[in-house]
Amino acid sequence: MSYFKQKVIWITGATSGIGEALAKELANYKPVLILSARRTIILQEVAEECTKKGADCLVVPLDVSDASQITEAANTIYEQHPHIDILINNAGISQRSYAKDTALEVDRKIMEVNFFGNIALTKVVLPKMLQQNAGQIVVMSSVVGHFGFKSRSAYAASKHALHGFYETLYIENQHNNLKVNIICPGRIQTNISVHSLQQDGKEHGKMDPYQAKGMPADVFAKRALKAIERNKRVANIGNWDIWMIYCKRYVPWLFYLITKRIKDK
């Protein structure tokens, strides 16, 4: 995939799971990787591994829910690189609590990270991308960007919101060269359930059994990079769980029967 060679690629959520796997897979193509997340030491470890594979890495620690940190991060990047070719807007947190129990602050926190943090990043790179008439924004949504699911009310809402925002962004810029790709992973083997928020905002702290049986993150990363290279508008990537999207669309009564029986939290 020479497509990625020497491209300047900013990945958020690069300390864990999907973001880390994407960074390590991309490193094989010797791009410039800008790695962001909150945990600096882990970012540096990921950068070290990517550098060994031939990538040129810049670590830019960042909390995406803090708008001032986003502006600062973009300034740091633009001081060293005149442009960003691809933004992989991946950082996110999930949820493990029913809507009726979840504190409103927890709903807001999930929206702040998954939606507002995400679009704030896009807004700092967009002007230059439009000025250059080139750029690609990759958004990590989820299968629950297509449907609701037990214990994921705010999480599903944040991913649905991303679909509305990015579909509009694409439509508004069809005459420009802006590429917008929404990737919807099914269950991928990462620590997402461990880092998920419960009703009181505390971390769930457990690996869910279904999560552990998901698609391995490195397999997912390879497929996601193919979708990015092919400029897929929406790419649904995962195991059997992807079929829930089509089940909801074409056989909704079956979708609601299945979701009624699911006990998963």
> Of the ranges 46-54, 78-86, 92-100, 164-172, which one interacts with ligand NAP (CB under 6 A)?
92-100
**The two structure tokens encoding residue 96:** 């493990």
CB of 187 to ligand NAP, least distance (A): 4
**The two structure tokens encoding residue 31:** 């791009």
CA dihedral 21, 90, 265, 252 (to 10 degrees): -110
Give the catalytic positions in this structure.
155
CB of 2 to ligand NAP, least distance (A): 26
CB of 181 to ligand NAP, least distance (A): 14
62 binds ligand NAP (CB under 6 A): yes
Which residues are within 8 A (CB) of 74 and not within 5 positions of it... i.e. 6 or more apart?
124, 125
Among 95, 125, 166, 185, the residue binding ligand NAP under the rule CB under 6 A is 185
Using CA atoms, how far apart are residues 188 and 204, in angstroms rounded to an integer?
17
Q: What is the sign, positive or negative, of the torsion defined by CA atoms of 168, 248, 245, 17?
A: positive
Q: Which is nearer to ligand NAP, 109 or 130 (CB)?
A: 109
DSSP 133: T
92 binds ligand NAP (CB under 6 A): yes
Write out the E strands in 128-185: 135-140, 178-185
76 binds ligand NAP (CB under 6 A): no
> Of the ranges 1-9, 37-45, 76-84, 223-231, which one interacts with ligand NAP (CB under 6 A)?
37-45
Using CA atoms, how far apart are residues 139 and 161, in angstroms rounded to an integer?
12
Q: Which is nearer to ligand NAP, 63 or 134 (CB)?
A: 63
What is the x/- site pattern for ligand NAP, positions 143-172, by CB under 6 A?
------------------------------
CB of 133 to ligand NAP, least distance (A): 28
Helices then strands, counting H and E runs in the chain, come out as 11, 9
Q: Which is nearer to ligand NAP, 12 or 136 (CB)?
A: 12
191 binds ligand NAP (CB under 6 A): yes
Taking CA atoms, 4 is separated from 52, 63, 121, 226, in Å, by 17, 26, 21, 11
245 binds ligand NAP (CB under 6 A): no
Secondary structure of residue 95 in the 3-state scheme = strand
CB of 214 to ligand NAP, least distance (A): 5
Give the up-direction half-sphere exposure of residue 35: CA atoms within 13 A in the CB hemisphere. Answer: 32
Subset of residues 2 to 21 that bind ligand NAP, contact rule: CB under 6 A: 12-19
Q: Which amino acid is at 64?
A: V
Binding-site ranges for ligand NAP (CB under 6 A):
12-19, 37-39, 62-65, 90-94, 113, 140, 142, 185, 187-188, 190-192, 195, 214
